[in-house]
Amino acid sequence: MPTLDQSYVTKGSWRPDLFKGKVAFVTGGAGSICKVQTEALILLGANAAIVGRNKEKTDAAAKELEGLRPGAKVVSLSNIDVRDVKQLTEAANKAVQELGRIDFVIAGAAGNFLSDFTHLSSNAFSSVVNIDLIGSFNTVKACFEQLKKNKGAIIFVSATLHYYGVPYQIHVGAAKAGVDALSNALATELGPLGIRSNCIAPGPIADTEGMSRLAPGVIDQVASKVPVQRLGSKQDIADATVYLFSPAGNFVNGEILVVDGGAWHIGQGIAGAGYPVNVKRNQESKTFKL
């Protein structure tokens, strides 16, 4: 079921048809956060193409998204590996064939799991960096001509893990630090072409696959450490997305919009439960990966 519905338009902060005639290209569009970002854009008038590896999941998400608004068009681009720029380019071309254009790009495909350094293999580290960072680069590369033609905008889905040391998240922190740097550089290089590039860095967001994997059994503990005393919602990220893509965000470029209730300011780490006892025990374990 969708997270958002027509009440997002009728009772929300944004005017109807804000994105009428616009098209979004979203990697990870069948995932928990990126799907709701796409829901918001569709409810406000946009059409979309969502990219995913799993055909069944991506097709189902596209059908569900299309039902949010009468006349909405959502293209499912499944069996696409963001690590392969040729596959992404073919996907972008198909999106243009089906929908006519690409105005907005959300680079949200990502991989994550918990692992301490001792047990994190080089292959596993590379896999996350390749999906999160190289995949983000490839996404913009594949959509560049459309972004230039339509003076479009890019949002990278980042994180706050690299603002401080978070145990068990070395691979993701390194990848997301690279994503931030990529966005900042693109903002300066592509800005003169009329293309804006920004990041959204979600904090702990409720009812997501990431939270269920990274904070099993300690979600209440995580929420209590957030200054606003709650976990974020997927709508919080959707609203940030709408702002950055809307005319209200037209002069925002090269920024990292942290949406975490202030959590990172106090060193809030999802993977920090049991520190330092658990970390020391894991690092001293004899089983490790190369």
Helices (H), the chain: 7-10, 32-43, 55-66, 85-99, 122-129, 135-150, 170-190, 209-214, 219-224, 234-245, 277-283
Q: DSSP label at 270?
A: G
Task: Tell me whether residue 176 is one of the annotated catalytic residues.
Answer: yes
51 with 83: CB under 8 angstroms? no
**Residue-by-residue DSSP string for 62-99:** HHHHHTTSTT--EEEE-S--TT-HHHHHHHHHHHHHHH
Catalytic residue among 176, 183, 197, 234: 176
Q: Tokens 């959707």, residue?
A: 238
Is 225 considered catalytic here?
no
- Exactly one of 32, 76, 78, 158 is catalytic; name it: 158
Active site residues: 158, 176
